[in-house]
Structure 1
Amino acid sequence: MCRGVSARLVHDTRTAGSTSAAGDGERGSARPAFTSSSAVSAHNTASVIVAVVEGRGLARGEVGMASIDLKNPQVILSQFADNSTYAKVVTKLKILTPLEIIMSNTACDAGNATKLFSLITDNFKNVTFSTVQRKYFNETKGLEHIEQLCASEFSTVLMEVQSKYYCLAAVAALLKYVEFIQNSVYAPKSLKVCFQGSEQTAMIDSSSAQNLELVTNNRDSRNRHTLFGILNYTKTPGGSRRLRSNILEPLVDAETINTRLDCVQELLQDEELFFSLQEVISRFLDTEQLLSVLVQLPKQDTVKAAESKITNLIYLKHTLELVDPLKAALRSCKTPLLKAYYSSLEDKRFGIILEKVKTVINDDTRYTKGCLNMRTQKCYAVRPNINEFLDIARRTYTEIVDDIAGMIAQLAEKYNLPLKTSFSSSRGFFIQMNADSAVLSNGQLPSEFTKIMKIKNTYSFTSADVIKMNERCQESLREIYHMTYLIVCKLLSEVYEHIHCLYKLSDTVSMLDMLLSFAHTCTISDYVRPEFTDTLAIKQGWHPILEKISLEKPIPNNTYLTEGSNFVIITGPNMSGKSTYLKQIALCQIMAQIGSYVPADYSSFRIAEQIFTRIGMDDDIETNASTFMKEMKEIAYIIQNANDRSLIIIDELGRGTSTEEGIGICYAVCEYLLSLKAFTLFATHFLELCQIDALYPNVENNHFEVQHVRSSTGNEEKIAYTYTLSKGHTEEKNYGLKAAEVSSLPPSIILDAKNITNHITRQILQRQRSTPETLRQRAVYHLATRLVQTARNSRLDPDSLRIYLKGLKKKYEADCPVFGQTEGQL
């Protein structure tokens, strides 16, 4: 635990006048207090300090981390979604081997420490823990610190972390704390700052997540046309959160992914298992939220706190009673993961907790919908004869409720009106009447009724006597809740030692919910199970989001990338489908790596450790960045971070500057990316770029076909889009001029534009011809890579393999113009 040694910070004079977004508006010599268990020892071999912060409310489970080595001016930032076991946090901290860990004081308060703090202290007993006031975990200040201190060579990290609020909050507290213990500040632009995703998950930067519309639709944030929206058939909040975090951080371990896919396959093949599991899972409440509230001890025994605790004990009973039905649904499962979840449900602690709960709580007490029904459940939750005074208070409450109903019945008889008793949590008991079935004298209600409201054809009102009875009812309720609360607290103190089994249950329910959601998606759309090899091969794949939007199924296309052909240049007119196709590949990759089936007839993927995209042509007003500068920053980020296991999607690079400069930049970027083994898909309108395949045999040219259709009069020719991908680069030229022809531009301008374009084409655009030697080298290269790939992945029997190799030989003979000269070399 954190020991209370207080200290005071003296702000650097340059930042003394700043105001924190968290509410600390001190100016001048502000004195924020830190609490530390010990000072940092200069003689200790460890020299890394780590700040950890967890989101609150709906963002619970989202963890931000920032670390700095006192012997090395490098700041490492991390942010990721973790489950209730916080395995990723512990793994990262073990890799960092910190000297000291700092957290907010609200997370470490004695008697109210968070589970994250408890887990970290349990796993790192020899590490010093320090507390920092929560207001110093400020994401705005964190971003300012990075902008001020990050060396220009690493400034592209800003693009990645500008929306990672928790790691920014962590770095703000970290740098302020280091300033305190070191009694010094870092020089501007002197730190190396980098962002690292969590282990065993692929890294997708925030810009790519936005470009691909993974969780948020770019046109309307409320629209469900996102990858998360089309996959989300979850029944519980925990399952929904798990799906969202998996989409943003896909797995990179093929074995784990295949384990999930085995489960989805079994759910699809066994209808009884699917529907029985779905029925049970849909009855679970938010188990993680329940756990969070259960382990919190309120500082004051208020009526609200008492009512909340009683409610959550009823939720706990409801949850525990679902363990046996969940076990029964899983009993006949065959896949290892589902069997493991079945085994975890056999934990005896579930029965121990439920038995203890049932000794105090009535058997028929359960979670119900409706505020009055739930109030009744809470009032009569505790068994009779446990507390004599509680029994008396409940009888009093029942009599008051009966009196209110009787009073309203008398009013109905008195005024000959169809009155009925209603209830809401805000108003208590009140009177309702259907206006259509009532005859009012003078069109008005009797003067005895007050607080009259009319919604559509229903009157809602009350009377002075009903208000008084409501007050008596509330007073009786307070007594009931107080006495029940004391009994509930005593019960919970007995079950806390067994409650950890609920963390496993929470993990089981959320995972099963997500897997059921994947299976549900497959029943609606015709998806296929992906394989994992060293090849990206998609046969007749389509865009999953476009399928939901379109009235007809999207035109499917093939994709094929290997180590030998890892760079694909895609050309075609505007609106021919290039951008949609590129996004489709990235979405299918992500779906495969989270354990979902994918929209295709067949699919094989190479695990991508990083997914980068450069899509879009918009200026960024917030950062005052032009289209071109935004392009350059995004490409710089990709170049700095890409590795051989990356998937890189680039759509339209270099169009924010002149044609000559744009082609030059594209060519240079392509040559750099070609030095990697990353799978790259590069869409461009610069047809000159297609000639790069003459120099690099691992480049493939593809294009989207279009057809020319004459109008009924025969005077105009229009472009008909087929949305079909074919080999080779596009032969379609001047499609910009053809698009302009159908616009409202005057014919004279169109004619001048055509003449100028033809003149430039004749003078500048000289196509490079491939020589027989380059064709021979390319054919040899492709044959060699196919043979290596066959040796690695072939599952063919000897006869089939012989036929396949003969086919390769024929293709080589067709591709190589000097076959006779090279045959002996092979």
Structure 2
Amino acid sequence: MSDSTPMMQQYTQIKSKHRDAIVFFRLGDFYEMFHKDAQEASKILGLTLTKRNGIPMCGIPYHASGAYVGRLLQAGKKIAVCEQTKLPEGGKGIAEREVVEVLTPGTVMEEDMLPGENNNYLVALSSPAPDYSDPLQQVYSFAALDVSTGELFLTSYSGPSAAAFLRREIYRYNPPEIVVQESMLEQVSEIAQYLKDSPEILLNRYPDWYFDSRTAAQRLRDLLGVAGLQSFGLAPDSPELHSASVLIDYAEDVTKHRISFLRELQVYKEHDAVSIDESSQKNLELTRNMRDGTRKYTLLDVIDQTQTPMGSRLLQRWLLRPLNSAPAILERQARVRGFYHSQLILSKAAELLGSIRDLDRLAARISLDKGHAKDLLSLGTSLSLSIELLDLLSGANLGGGVPEHSRQGLQEITALIENAIIENPSILLTEGRLIRPGYSPEVDEIRSLKENSRETLESYLSQERDQSGIQNLKLKYNKIIGYHLEVSKGQVSKVPEHFIRRQSLVNAERYTTERLGELESKITLASDRLIELERQCFIQVRQQVRQRVQDILEVSKLVAETDCIQSLARVATLRGYVAPELVEEVLLDIEGGRHPVVEAHLSHGEFVPNSLELSSKKGSTSGRFALITGPNMAGKSTYLRQNALITILAQIGSFVPADRAKIGICDKVFCRVGASDNLARGESTFLVEMNETALILRTATERSLIIMDEVGRGTSTQDGLSIAWAVSEYVLNTIKARTLFATHYHELTELSHPNLQNLSLQVDDEDGEIVFLRRVVPKASSNSYGIHVAQLAGIPRMVIERAQELLNHFDVPAFNPGKPGKQGSKPQKRLFDPLEEISLELKNIDIGTTTPLQALTILARFQESLKK
């Protein structure tokens, strides 16, 4: 094989049209990959890479391609499936081939390749007027479409934090594939770098002219079947349409189907829900943990008691966009309370939900003509259970029931499916076994002819046995020679003259006859006709079901919401959560609060609850700003996060892990805890920390909740303390938000402000034995107990003793910040006196191993230090 052979020329021509995809080139029973495609695929799939005439190649069996396709899509690859469409006549020449399907991570529809509990979003990023000369005025458009469920979300943004906004949206939707405007990548370096650092995302770059929003409004009106888009918050020139247009074009181009099954179009703005930036989503581990990116040990993992895939996906969206409207929160909370106080209904609802399949994705596959007979059966059963569930809730005043305009149509299609499809149908339309007896008279007639032919064949075989005297004569069938008579070698002498030999085996001979040939023709015609009739009947049934897709999606939405509500009620019951009081005042009052995730995974002992009051209300003994000091191991980080998580739970309408909670509604939640190097982006730990801090200081409001841990720790002590002090003052005096500010800089406790309160984690250090009690107390800590923590970690005793000796020796000058603006020009003080530093280094010099040249170098350094 070489690139000059006719087959490789054919491959090259096909590959030239799909340069951005791995081409699955069908050769017999295998999909072969060549050149760079083979090199990439072999690494991802763990295949052996071979070479033939210098061409790298690898292959997979076509009948087992599904698992391989899934792994390539997961790795962010696009696949072009090239099939043999026509075999050469007379066995000469090469087969005709063409790409019959393109698979991409963001448009895949196959059930076994989709994450059941997660959405599979295709995202588009663009700018309607790509000028970029004034970043503050530049408008950005963002769209997310889940082709497998029919959900489309649109938003736009302009302002100084556009890059942070886009990063947050990308992280929240977690798309495997993005379509992006090329000029954005060239001009918005932060987004370009962010996407470059995400190789698992398939990135499709398109020029500006491809993003044409002039017809987008009409396209959406057609898809949604509405006269106007004003009810969705869209005008003809809305910037959101810019990315929506290209998203729909791309999805339809890849799938080769019209996206006519939009279940939901949601246009939202920054202020429509609680804003949780990318870093805070990560730090709070709402839906993905920081260890391996899965949902294990996350808040979602704890509260997700949903029974359906669409319920689980909806709950995830609730968690990442909590409500910020008191009426909406209270309405949802009331529904949770209704289930909470109706345990029998709650149990029955969970039982019914557990048998309902993924209605969204079933409807989407049927709309795209990809639904098979088993999909229809699952749909019929699930719709019947959904109607039963919604009727149950309606009767108990826990829900609105099935919309009357949908009920009759849904009952008709469930009856149609039950009457038309057999119990255990074939998945393939080319195998028959689809239509139930009694549904189609024509199918019944042909099926009867086929089944009676078996009796005819048995009668014919019996006749030949009697006439030939070959009692062990057998009638068999295979795909190569069709029906045939098989005679053992010992009986060949009895074969009559009208037998025509077809095949010789080791132990037998195979024959046919003119009469057997005639019977085979009739049977084959009947079989082929039956398969074709069943296929036509099935397609007609599927088309009738497709006409009711919008009704199916409407019921699916109601079922998903019910599933989320019952999930929150079950969690509240199982874990002893209480209904919080939601108020418009700027306060946070939690009594006996617990960390929901830590509590759920505690292997021994009981979680130590802690209270918190952040309020500047008259009569309150606390302020809005809590300064928390003390050692990390005492439970400081747990305390910080638990209060943010309790707030988020309250604002999705959930009960919360506390004895009592009164929560003022937040507009934004920030959580800056810890940081790690982002070397790929050229960002140190300190720069990451400062970027996150800057975002908080720029965008937080008085109604926000701010969690900050160890601000300033990534630089020198004096620099870090100065930054932490200035940030604290800015939050206290300018932003005035509810804030939990944890620090190791004990000097900050000297801050004086009516809105500041000092908190610390209680430590029992009697008799030299230190015990962290994990209780928050209203006072500042006098010690970070760092050496004790080091001892617990197993640091060698010699090191611990030396550290204690140095701690006793050091005398750090007191920090005096003075008034704002008065200290900026003074040089920064050194932490230790130079003579003390020289003295310490001299004590540790080994004179016996120090050369004269090294001694002179050390002396010169000491001299230079004293000059400074």
TM-score under structure 1 length normalisation: 0.60
Measured against aligned partners, the alpha-carbon deviations of 1:505-564 in whole angstroms (never above 9, x if no partner) come to 010011111111111112210100112112211110111111121123310000111255
Out of 141, 150, 154, the position equivalent to 2:188 is: 150
Partner of 2:567: 517
Structure 1, unmatched stretches of 5+, are 1-18, 27-52, 97-136, 182-194, 298-304, 405-446, 449-471, 711-716, 771-826
Q: Give distance in 2, aligned partners of 1:384 and 1:556.
A: 66
Partner of 2:588: 536
Measured against aligned partners, the alpha-carbon deviations of 1:662-686 in whole angstroms (never above 9, x if no partner) come to 0011112222222113221111100
* DSSP-derived class of the 1:68 partner: coil
Alignment of 1:111-510 (within 5 A): 139=178, 146=184, 148-150=186-188, 172-173=205-206, 175=208, 177=210, 200-222=272-294, 224-297=296-369, 308-334=371-397, 338=399, 341-342=400-401, 345-355=402-412, 358=415, 360-363=416-419, 379=433, 381-384=435-438, 386-393=440-447, 396=450, 480=530, 482-494=532-544, 496-510=546-560
Q: Give distance in 2, aligned partners of 1:398 and 1:519.
A: 59
| Conservation of the 8 A alpha-carbon contact between 1:217 and 1:223 | yes
Partner of 1:667: 725
Partner of 2:774: 723
Partner of 1:779: none
Deviation at 1:482, TM superposition (A): 3.5
| Conservation of the 8 A alpha-carbon contact between 2:614 and 2:625 | yes
Question: Residues 356, 23 of structure 1: CA spacing in aligned structure 2 closer, same or farther, 3 A cutoff?
Answer: closer
Measured against aligned partners, the alpha-carbon deviations of 1:148-206 in whole angstroms (never above 9, x if no partner) come to 4138xxx599779977999x969x5474647999xxxxxxxxxxxxx996553222223
1:556 aligns with 2:616: no
Question: Residues 357, 259 of structure 1: CA spacing in aligned structure 2 closer, same or farther, 3 A cutoff?
Answer: closer
1:68 aligns with 2:128: yes
Q: Give distance in 2, aligned partners of 1:226 and 1:479.
A: 55
1:623 aligns with 2:655: no
Deviation at 1:400, TM superposition (A): 7.9
Partner of 1:781: none
* DSSP-derived class of the 2:666 partner: coil
Measured against aligned partners, the alpha-carbon deviations of 1:25-71 in whole angstroms (never above 9, x if no partner) come to 99xxxxxxxxxxxxxxxxxxxxxxxxxx9765543466555443367
Question: Residues 371, 499 of structure 1: CA spacing in aligned structure 2 closer, same or farther, 3 A cutoff?
Answer: closer
Q: Which amino acid is 1:313 matched to?
A: L
Out of 773, 780, 787, the position equivalent to 1:737 is: 787
| Conservation of the 8 A alpha-carbon contact between 1:397 and 1:476 | no
Q: Give distance in 2, aligned partners of 1:481 and 1:596.
A: 53
Q: Which amino acid is 2:730 matched to?
A: Y
Q: Give distance in 1, aligned partners of 2:452 and 2:318.
A: 49
Partner of 1:421: none
Deviation at 1:489, TM superposition (A): 3.0
| Conservation of the 8 A alpha-carbon contact between 2:629 and 2:780 | yes
1:583 aligns with 2:633: no
| Conservation of the 8 A alpha-carbon contact between 2:128 and 2:140 | yes
Q: Give distance in 2, aligned partners of 1:493 and 1:214.
A: 41
1:547 aligns with 2:585: no
Q: Give distance in 2, aligned partners of 1:315 and 1:596.
A: 31
Question: Residues 690, 732 of structure 1: CA spacing in aligned structure 2 closer, same or farther, 3 A cutoff?
Answer: same
Partner of 1:765: 814
| Conservation of the 8 A alpha-carbon contact between 2:787 and 2:803 | yes
Question: Residues 632, 276 of structure 1: CA spacing in aligned structure 2 closer, same or farther, 3 A cutoff?
Answer: same
Question: Residues 574, 488 of structure 1: CA spacing in aligned structure 2 closer, same or farther, 3 A cutoff?
Answer: same
Which moves more between the two structures, 561-570 or 230-239?
561-570
| Conservation of the 8 A alpha-carbon contact between 1:236 and 1:286 | yes
Alignment of 1:765-784 (within 5 A): 765=814
Deviation at 1:386, TM superposition (A): 1.9
| Conservation of the 8 A alpha-carbon contact between 1:654 and 1:666 | yes
Question: Residues 700, 500 of structure 1: CA spacing in aligned structure 2 closer, same or farther, 3 A cutoff?
Answer: same
Deviation at 1:287, TM superposition (A): 0.5
Partner of 2:746: 687
Question: Residues 740, 361 of structure 1: CA spacing in aligned structure 2 closer, same or farther, 3 A cutoff?
Answer: closer
Q: Which amino acid is 1:708 matched to?
A: D
Measured against aligned partners, the alpha-carbon deviations of 1:204-251 in whole angstroms (never above 9, x if no partner) come to 223222211212222344562211111111111101111112112212
Q: Give distance in 2, aligned partners of 1:261 and 1:489.
A: 44
Question: Residues 514, 392 of structure 1: CA spacing in aligned structure 2 closer, same or farther, 3 A cutoff?
Answer: same
Question: Residues 292, 749 of structure 1: CA spacing in aligned structure 2 closer, same or farther, 3 A cutoff?
Answer: closer
Question: Residues 140, 238 of structure 1: CA spacing in aligned structure 2 closer, same or farther, 3 A cutoff?
Answer: closer
Partner of 2:763: 706
* DSSP-derived class of the 1:622 partner: helix
Q: Which amino acid is 2:128 matched to?
A: I
**Amino-acid identity (%):** 27
Alignment of 1:65-104 (within 5 A): 65-69=125-129, 73=134, 74-78=138-142, 89=154, 92=155
Structure with greater Cα Rg: 2
Question: Residues 278, 177 of structure 1: CA spacing in aligned structure 2 closer, same or farther, 3 A cutoff?
Answer: same
Deviation at 1:623, TM superposition (A): 2.2
Deviation at 1:618, TM superposition (A): 2.3
Q: Give distance in 1, aligned partners of 2:549 and 2:361.
A: 14
| Conservation of the 8 A alpha-carbon contact between 2:373 and 2:427 | no
RMSD after superposition: 4.6
Q: Give distance in 2, aligned partners of 1:379 and 1:156.
A: 52
* DSSP-derived class of the 1:537 partner: strand
* DSSP-derived class of the 1:484 partner: helix
Q: Give distance in 2, aligned partners of 1:731 and 1:82.
A: 54
Question: Residues 586, 649 of structure 1: CA spacing in aligned structure 2 closer, same or farther, 3 A cutoff?
Answer: same
Q: Give distance in 1, aligned partners of 2:335 and 2:539.
A: 40
| Conservation of the 8 A alpha-carbon contact between 2:185 and 2:191 | no
Q: Give distance in 1, aligned partners of 2:431 and 2:579.
A: 47
Q: Which amino acid is 1:719 matched to?
A: I
* DSSP-derived class of the 2:735 partner: coil
Q: Give distance in 2, aligned partners of 1:198 and 1:391.
A: 63
Question: Residues 179, 665 of structure 1: CA spacing in aligned structure 2 closer, same or farther, 3 A cutoff?
Answer: farther
Q: Give distance in 1, aligned partners of 2:524 and 2:278.
A: 50
Question: Residues 639, 492 of structure 1: CA spacing in aligned structure 2 closer, same or farther, 3 A cutoff?
Answer: same
Measured against aligned partners, the alpha-carbon deviations of 1:284-335 in whole angstroms (never above 9, x if no partner) come to 11010011012114xxxxxxx5xx4433332332233224412431133335
Partner of 2:625: 567
